[in-house]
Structure 1
Amino acid sequence: MGDTRLPPVVLSDTERSTLEDWARRRSTAQGLAQRAQIVLACARGWNNTRVAARLGIERKTAARWRTRFLLDRLDGLADEPRPGVPRTITDAQVEEVVVRTLEEVPAGGTHWSKRELAKVVGISPASVLRIWHAFGLQPWRTETFKISPDPFLIDKIRDVVGLYLAPPANAAVFAVDEKPQIQALERTAPVLPMLPGVPERRSFDYVRHGTVDLFAALNTATGKVITKLSAQHRAVDFRDFLDEIDRQTDPGLAVHVICDNLSAHKAPVVHKWLLAHPRFHLHFTPTYSSWINQVERWFAELERRCLARGVFCSLDDLKAGLESWIKVWNDEARPFKWTKTADQILDRICRYCDRISKPVH
């Protein structure tokens, strides 16, 4: 039963919908969600005592928000301004920080530091940093990009991605590339092992014992890798590596090889070899688009898990280390999963080109 001494709370359809939305959404500030529940309970005709008991709050809390809603409706449920230190940074100063960051550079410099900009604007470096954070500005960061100028960009992307997402029947698809000039590096002092609270430590300088080139063909369906170590990566070396792929692949399968635009991949000796092996088909990635070749992802694993922290006292030691890690990989091989369609990739490229072709500010 309602309390006839209390003014009734009558909601419009819009107000009820808004309050119910606030009450449901826990992402909304907890206080606002509770206030919405109080008003909705009052709208059912409940008195303040019943509302307080049902929601587990003080009776005076229910009375306060009933009164504020009746006076100011939905606006009355918002928090009132709280007392605190008066604001010392004006809107003009905030605007000046943002505009200078985006449109100017300091004399003799390439980008602002918080101290340089604070000195010009007349505020503290901490205030400049807070403004940068608020507007998502990071002048200390920079990134690089390269848009492929390949006239057959679209066709090549559709071709390569099609091989990943829908490989042909009765065929093996290999992502192929070379990792040239892998260095056999020996540290000038023994590596100090990791201890509790202390990371592994190694000397800054090293002794180089020569280099070796690695050819790799990643089977995109199984994740297994066919490799060949070579002193160089000439066209004849690439042809010899194709021979190795031919020997290790079921003769009943067609072979699709994804590779980049290195001149060695298009040399006459390779073309002649392809004519003698009609089951092989080469597919070229777009210019400056090594990111689309899955074997590059495998090279990243090789670098991270074998080479970056490896110590090799000779070229033979390096070769043995590479062969050992490759064997472990193949014993537990799993394919990399390609998820983006050609249309998604092209749409993103178009959006990026549109973004960089317009004025930034």
Structure 2
Amino acid sequence: MRRGRRAQVVKLSKKEREALEALVRQSTAAQRDVVRAKIALMADEGLTTAAIAASLGLSLPSVSKWRSRVASQGMAGLREVQRPGRPRRIADAQRLQLLALACEPAEGLGRATPTLNELCERAVQRGVVPHISRSHLQRILQAGDVRPHRVRQWLHSPDPQFREKVNAICELYRQQPLGSVVLSIDEKTGIQAIERKHADRAPQPGRARRREFEYIRHGTQALTAALDVHSGRVLGRCTDRRTQDDLVAFMEEVACAYPQGTVHVIWDNLNTHRAQAVWADFNSRHGERFVFHFTPLHASWVNQIELLFGIYSRRVLRHASHTSTQHLRQRTEAFIAQRNVSPKPFKWTFAGFELQTGEPRRFTRHAHTPRPSKRR
């Protein structure tokens, strides 16, 4: 009876075995690395090549190959060696130059990013490569995770007290002062009452809803709203315009809704919000109960009312057809009334920026502070 070649003996050190066992337990490890680690561990336990192949569902030559590598090289034998093939035509230094070429600043003629064909021409003109195709350059950019055609906008705040203002507002969001209320107030202007000139066509299987392009404008409305940050209650008022008198009239409604205690008002730096003479007179009529907090410049994300305006736009304005400004106002008031049936505050998780010492801000919740529920 003919016998096969004797399997090589695998002896792993304690450290190597622990490393391979940790690799097998990793849920994010590559499957090929996990299989090779199992082969090495089972061979170290004394199992035959046939038994390992049957247990892992592999072929005998495959198990024998990795068993021999582990026996001769240890854990280093499990690594993938470089396979033979045509050498790279574009060296690593040239690839880096191509990535830098794609990341160059925008042109002065208004062009944001060049096309791939233009990048290929520039690379040849500057002597980076003698020749390169469009697809080859695209693969190099993808391998370098460079997407020069994509642009993300951002807006810098020039406010020198940016961190201090944000931290103060976040502290009001996360800890309600005892005996006080925190209101986030702002205006949403230019809300168009648009009526579709022709009725929509209902969606069908395989076809989306169809809408006629033409529409009729019936005017605009301005929504001024106040969000009680800790209860979720909303006060709203629609007007034809947004003037200082309209805002003062709305604030009188706020004062009637909250007749006692300190009222912390958070809003942006609009000119109607900054009129010190107007609000000094208003505050004196109400016993100096109102404390105004202004968000930093270009930081509307700090104002929670913007979250409510986003929900309002999606649920009331998107794909809607309003026959008049009165119709738009009725739907807006119905939206606010529905929110107040079971109001829920937003879950504000941002605690603010780190202090100058580098220590993160920490907030201790008091017994009187209501815990915000999940975002609705």
Using structure 1 for the length normalisation, give the TM-score.
Answer: 0.84
Q: State the partner residue of 2:270.
A: 262
Aligned equivalents of 1:169 and 1:104: distance in 2?
Answer: 53
- 271-280 vs 55-64, which deviates more? 55-64
Task: Tell me by how many angstroms 1:272 deviates.
Answer: 0.6
Given that 2:8 and 2:67 are in contact with CA atoms closer than 8 Å, whether structure 1 keeps it comes out as no
Given that 1:210 and 1:314 are in contact with CA atoms closer than 8 Å, whether structure 2 keeps it comes out as yes
**Pair 27,118 (structure 1): closer, same or farther in 2 beyond 3 Å:** same
Partner AA of 2:115 in structure 1: S
**Pair 163,13 (structure 1): closer, same or farther in 2 beyond 3 Å:** same
Aligned equivalents of 2:140 and 2:357: distance in 1?
Answer: 33
Aligned residue runs from structure 1 range 4-153, under 5 A: 7-53=8-54, 55-82=56-83, 89-103=90-104, 109-121=111-123, 122-153=131-162
Residue identity over aligned pairs, in percent, reads 34
- 315-324 vs 288-297, which deviates more? 315-324
Task: Tell me by how many angstroms 1:343 deviates.
Answer: 2.4
Partner AA of 2:318 in structure 1: A
Task: Tell me by how many angstroms 1:66 deviates.
Answer: 2.1
Task: Tell me by how many angstroms 1:275 deviates.
Answer: 1.7
TM-superposition CA deviations, 1:134-181 (whole Å, max 9, x none): 222222222222222223322211211011101112222110000112
Q: Which runs of 5+ in 1 are unaligned?
A: 349-361
**Pair 40,218 (structure 1): closer, same or farther in 2 beyond 3 Å:** same
Aligned equivalents of 1:106 and 1:171: distance in 2?
Answer: 54
Structure 1 residue 337 and structure 2 residue 350: aligned?
no
Task: Tell me by how many angstroms 1:328 deviates.
Answer: 2.3
Aligned equivalents of 2:150 and 2:337: distance in 1?
Answer: 40
Structure 1 residue 285 and structure 2 residue 331: aligned?
no
Given that 1:236 and 1:270 are in contact with CA atoms closer than 8 Å, whether structure 2 keeps it comes out as no
Aligned residue runs from structure 1 range 141-220, under 5 A: 141-220=150-229
Whose helix proportion is higher, 1 or 2? 1
Partner AA of 2:44 in structure 1: A
- 329-338 vs 40-49, which deviates more? 40-49
The secondary structure found in structure 1 opposite 2:66 is helix
Using structure 2 for the length normalisation, give the TM-score.
Answer: 0.81
TM-superposition CA deviations, 1:294-353 (whole Å, max 9, x none): 0001111111111132212222222122222222232243211100111269999xxxxx
The secondary structure found in structure 2 opposite 1:62 is helix
Structure 1 residue 312 and structure 2 residue 337: aligned?
no
Given that 1:106 and 1:116 are in contact with CA atoms closer than 8 Å, whether structure 2 keeps it comes out as no
Aligned equivalents of 2:181 and 2:305: distance in 1?
Answer: 15
The secondary structure found in structure 1 opposite 2:272 is helix
- 40-49 vs 170-179, which deviates more? 40-49
Structure 1 residue 321 and structure 2 residue 331: aligned?
yes
**Pair 344,296 (structure 1): closer, same or farther in 2 beyond 3 Å:** farther
Aligned equivalents of 2:143 and 2:179: distance in 1?
Answer: 56
Aligned equivalents of 2:164 and 2:50: distance in 1?
Answer: 72
Aligned equivalents of 1:194 and 1:187: distance in 2?
Answer: 17
The secondary structure found in structure 1 opposite 2:224 is strand
Aligned equivalents of 1:305 and 1:114: distance in 2?
Answer: 41
Task: Tell me by how many angstroms 1:7 deviates.
Answer: 4.7
Give the number of equivalent residue pairs.
343
Which of 238, 241, 260 aligns to 2:247? It is: 238
